[in-house]
Structure 1
Amino acid sequence: MATPYLIRRERFIPAPASAIFDVLATPALHSVIDGSGTVTGVQPNGPERLSPGARFGMDMKIGTPYKILNTVVEFEEGKRIAWRHFARHIWRYTLQEHDGGTLVAEEWDARAVPGKPVLRLLGFTRAHPESIERTLENLERYVTAGPRA
């Protein structure tokens, strides 16, 4: 059964899964690939690279600036990474390497969130599909841009 509280998009990216995973596991790059325009930076004193159970803070902005603390809840090196914050929705990425690149899926999973109808009223279920598609485009652009100084 389809639910507006699980939104998933996929994109084939012509890059190895390890390169893509490295970007996803680096909190400092989240604002670079974010397609929603809400992630503005990383909080200091967090890990440079994510690992199972890691906690990391992000600077955010939806109308007004705020900070959010996330915890990595799923982690399989090169294949899967997911984090959530106090509201319990999960941002999940799964990677499947194929000849010539990697199929990357991004999910916003709010099925475990209490008070889910509020998310719908606030417009998250309408906005996230397009934001996720932009994030995957930005991720592809970043990992295929070539060497960085």
Structure 2
Amino acid sequence: MRGPTAMTENMIVTATVDAPVSAVFSVLADPAQHAAIDGTGWVREGLDGEFLSRAGQLFRMAMYHDNVPNGHYEMVNKVIAFERDREIGWEPGQAGPDGVVGYGGWTWHYTLEPIGPAQTRVTLTYDWSGVPAELREHIEFPPFPDTHLKNSLDNLATLVVG
């Protein structure tokens, strides 16, 4: 496992899941499963009821964080990487009062590598290199330790293996 250093603006965690790559990908492509995967405890539920199926697709998630007024908020995620059974990733954003979604410059990306027919190497990357300076004045990056990413992969493995 590698965590952030002064030279990097990402965290990368890798784990082996005892399940076929297609099973792992299916769980990641289902936003209804994201709350159970999430290692931060912030994700509450998927709001659209659709599986992820292509780059450019938007999906909304209900979230909760103590530092947000009333705690509850919503993220609009844009799928930025989608190759079935290989990779899936998204960039979180929020809709402004005019309904236009603005993206903060951080991304989540899962890369899947089959290790035989019944195991998958999963690499989770949280990248904040695109976060503009004005946002960094209000949010510290990374906003959580790399253990949250490890927890996410452990949660993913538990879901997939069942």
TM-score strictly above 0.5: yes
Q: TM-score under structure 1 normalisation?
A: 0.86
Structure 1 counterpart of 2:61: 58
Q: State the Cα RMSD in Å.
A: 2.1
Q: 1:23 aligns with which of 13, 20, 27?
A: 27
Structure 1 counterpart of 2:75: 68
Structure 1 counterpart of 2:160: 143
Structure 2 residue 119 is matched with structure 1 residue 101: yes
**Counterparts of 1:140 and 1:20, CA distance in 2:** 8
**Counterparts of 1:126 and 1:110, CA distance in 2:** 10
Q: Write the deviation string for residues 2-60 of structure 1: whole angstroms up to 9, x where unpaired.
A: 6442110000111111000001000111001111100011113x523342211000001
Where structure 1 has 5 or more consecutive residues not aligned to the other structure, the ranges are none
Structure 2 counterpart of 1:43: 47
Aligned length: 143
Is the contact made by 1:82 and 1:91 (CA closer than 8 Å) also made in structure 2? yes
Q: TM-score under structure 2 normalisation?
A: 0.80
User: In 2 relative to 1, CA 2–11 (structure 1 residues): closer, same or farther, beyond 3 Å?
Assistant: farther
User: In 2 relative to 1, CA 88–126 (structure 1 residues): closer, same or farther, beyond 3 Å?
Assistant: closer
Task: Give the percent of matched residue pairs that are identical in Structure 1 and Structure 2.
Answer: 30
User: In 2 relative to 1, CA 143–93 (structure 1 residues): closer, same or farther, beyond 3 Å?
Assistant: same
Structure 2 counterpart of 1:134: 151
Where structure 2 has 5 or more consecutive residues not aligned to the other structure, the ranges are 93-102
Q: Which runs of 4+ in 1 moved over 3 A?
A: 1-4, 121-124
**Counterparts of 1:4 and 1:107, CA distance in 2:** 12
State the one-letter code of the partner of 2:26: D
Of the structure 1 ranges 126-135 and 89-98, higher mean CA displacement relative to structure 2 is found in: 126-135
More helix by share: 1
